[in-house]
Amino acid sequence: MRKLALSDEILLSVQQPARYIGGEVNMAVKDPAKVDTRFCLAFPDVYEIGMSHLGIQILYDMFNRRDDVYCERVYSPWTDMDRVMRENHIPLFALESQDPVKDFDFLGITLQYEMCYTNVLQILDLSGIPLYARDRTESDPFVIGGGPCAYNPEPLAPFFDLFYIGEGETVYDRLFDVYKEHKKQGGSRREFLEKAARIPGLYVPAFYDVTYAQDGTIASFSPNNPSAPAQVVKELVVNMDDAWYIEKPLVPFIKVTQDRVVLEIQRGCIRGCRFCQAGNIYRPLREHSLEYLKKYAYKMLKSTGHEEISLSSLSSSDYTQLEGLVNFLIDEFQGKGVNISLPSLRIDAFSLDVMSKVQDVKKSSLTFAPEAGSQRLRDVINKGLTEEIILSGARDAFLGGWNRVKLYFMLGLPTETEEDMKGIAYLSEKVAETFYEIPTEQRQRRVQIVASSSFFVPKPFTPFQWARQCTKEEFSRRAYLVRDTFRQMKNFKSLKYNWHEADLSVLEGVLARGDRRVAPVIEEAYRRGALFDSWGENFNNDLWMDAFEACGVDPGFYTERERSLDEILPWDFIDAGVSKEFLKREWQAALDERITPNCRQKCSGCGARAFGGGVCFEN
């Protein structure tokens, strides 16, 4: 039996002890003494969230395929366990061996959203690893960051030894080979980092100097070490079917957010929505073949015993083999007690047909994401969804027996006017009217339409990376205006409007487009008790505002300022595939309310074609 790091007294006194014991089905078991490299993969949020993340599972499986590497996992201890560990001076440990994280060679932390940054510090702190890379010694692990937030790693730069920019499947093997060799030869921490910096896609923040101009903008950003390239090019899998995929995903004991087999059908997106970071940084779109997906669907359902399989992609309807895949899943698995879940489908005759086959129409709801309330603003953001498409899709769905609709919007998009805001309520009302126009005997009795708005946060590597973000007051005022417009609607009783917290979005904006000067603020907020900021109940905005003040950093500098096109942006040293020229063209097109065709209609020369694969070479 494995020995646990925590006593029964502790485990039985906290919520969900299963978060800390490992031992899940398909867990990798190795003798740590017999490997060259111990790698601890961290997801800086609670177990149930971290275990639901596909990327971690892929890397875990891929790393453990190597006999010379043992990859283990760690998640953020929840607040109750955090307290116990501090009180009893228990170092953070990995789930598999239950050994302290500090004893590992690498600590790899995935950065999926900005609001986890204080949890990154929690993981370092509880592990007993110095927060700042410059304070680490030869006995500390190398701390490496990855994931979408690594596309602007600067607010976290001083806390990391390395960042991996791009998709993890490609150069980790090289990093492990280099490390093994380095360990054998013996050499300093710095020498290893120099070797690592020469691997494509790897960024060593300590090897770059930043200077600032009088107005606070970046004056220069350049390497200070000959091993460090001026531009770090993102890593990407060119042929998806060659990429590593999981055959045996981990099966948690407790119910986690994504308690099902996840089949990634494609990576990237052809749509080019101008607010969307994922749609830009994962370019170009690359599909898996149908045969590949069939094979993995079988293997993963068998190895996990999950009762549900879900398709994952940014826009499933754009997958060219979707019909074949969905029919295969229904024919093959539906009779065997396996549920099929189909997220992010465009509402049309095909999707309504398959949805009625795989789910209980009465219990499910339809989701549209118009993102903006007016056609004008949808053109600005290049969201190719028109009112006609939404209303005819809704009508078909109502005739098919659905009567619940969810609509997702954003408030605070660039150029937004009062008319655009009111459009959210008008569009929701039109969906309700569409329902009531149908003769009573052909539809359900009532309709329920839930509109939700989040606040727009400009992200790096999007055409809106130069945009000004609304202040908290502006956000709230806009939400109230929408709410008041809803109240005037004829079918008000069938409509519901929700909006998100504004202060969280403002902070997210600072962290998303911040530079290295934001790092001390994150540390200060953490020292003052900020943790699990993405969890509403734990988020304390005052604490963050105090931290900004204490560090002398003005959050408005990062959010309330429209950047000029020639400003050096903190993330400019990264080549994400989409060129800055393309993003500038798109920013101008947005201001001109001009739409850009999707990748399958016409190539817009974004730059991603240089990777030599995917949708760019379909024809």
- Annotate 563-595 with three-state secondary structure: CCCCCECCCCCEECCCCHHHHHHHHHHHHCCCC
Site for another protein in 280-309 (CB under 8 A): 301-307
Binding mask 324-363 for another protein (x = CB under 8 A): -------------x-x--------------------x---
Nearer to another protein, 261 or 531 (CB): 261
Q: Pick the binder of another protein from 23, 216, 223, 229 (CB under 8 A).
A: 23
CA distances from 302 to 118, 264, 265, 305, 326 (A): 38, 17, 19, 6, 18
Nearer to another protein, 20 or 160 (CB): 20
CB of 276 to another protein, least distance (A): 33
CB of 257 to another protein, least distance (A): 15
11 sits near another protein (criterion: CB under 8 A): yes
Nearer to another protein, 335 or 552 (CB): 335
Nearer to another protein, 303 or 392 (CB): 303
The string of DSSP letters for 110-155 reads E---GGGHHHHHHHHHHHT--SSGGG--TTSPEEEEESGGGGS-GG
Nearer to another protein, 12 or 349 (CB): 12
32 sits near another protein (criterion: CB under 8 A): no
CB of 303 to another protein, least distance (A): 7
Nearer to another protein, 404 or 472 (CB): 404
- As a whole number of angstroms, the distance between CA 495 and CA 473 comes to 25
Nearer to another protein, 1 or 33 (CB): 1
CB of 396 to another protein, least distance (A): 21
Helix (H) or strand (E) holding 556: helix 555-559
Stretch near another protein under the rule CB under 8 A, chosen from 3-11, 147-155, 235-243, 417-425: 3-11
Q: 208-212 and 308-312 as β-strands: parallel, antiparallel, unpaired?
A: unpaired
Q: Pick the binder of another protein from 2, 86, 446, 493 (CB under 8 A).
A: 2
**Among residues 337, 249, 245, which one has the least CA distance to residue 291?**
245
Cis peptide before 32 (omega within 30 of 0): no
Cβ pair 316, 265 in contact under 8 A? yes
CB of 128 to another protein, least distance (A): 24
How many beta carbons lie within 10 A of that of residue 291, not counting itself?
Answer: 10
Stretch near another protein under the rule CB under 8 A, chosen from 15-23, 60-68, 264-272, 493-501: 15-23
Nearer to another protein, 8 or 215 (CB): 8
Cβ pair 614, 286 in contact under 8 A? yes
Site for another protein in 512-571 (CB under 8 A): none
Nearer to another protein, 342 or 608 (CB): 342
Quick one: DSSP state of residue 73?
A: E
Cβ pair 133, 205 in contact under 8 A? yes
CB of 293 to another protein, least distance (A): 19
CB of 250 to another protein, least distance (A): 11
12 sits near another protein (criterion: CB under 8 A): yes
Helices (H), 254-386: 277-281, 290-304, 322-333, 349-358, 375-380
Helix (H) or strand (E) holding 485: helix 472-487
Cβ pair 155, 515 in contact under 8 A? yes
The token pair at 55 is 């990327």
Q: Which phi and psi (to 5°) does residue 366 adopt?
A: -95, 145
- As a whole number of angstroms, the distance between CA 431 and CA 559 comes to 34
CB of 187 to another protein, least distance (A): 39
Binding mask 232-261 for another protein (x = CB under 8 A): -------------------x-xxx------
Stretch near another protein under the rule CB under 8 A, chosen from 24-32, 160-168, 197-205, 384-392: 24-32
CB of 590 to another protein, least distance (A): 44
- As a whole number of angstroms, the distance between CA 409 and CA 385 comes to 12
The token pair at 575 is 């080549």
Question: Where along the sequence are the contacts to another protein (CB under 8 A)?
Answer: 1-2, 4, 8-9, 11-12, 17-18, 21, 23-25, 27, 251, 253-255, 301-307, 337, 339, 360
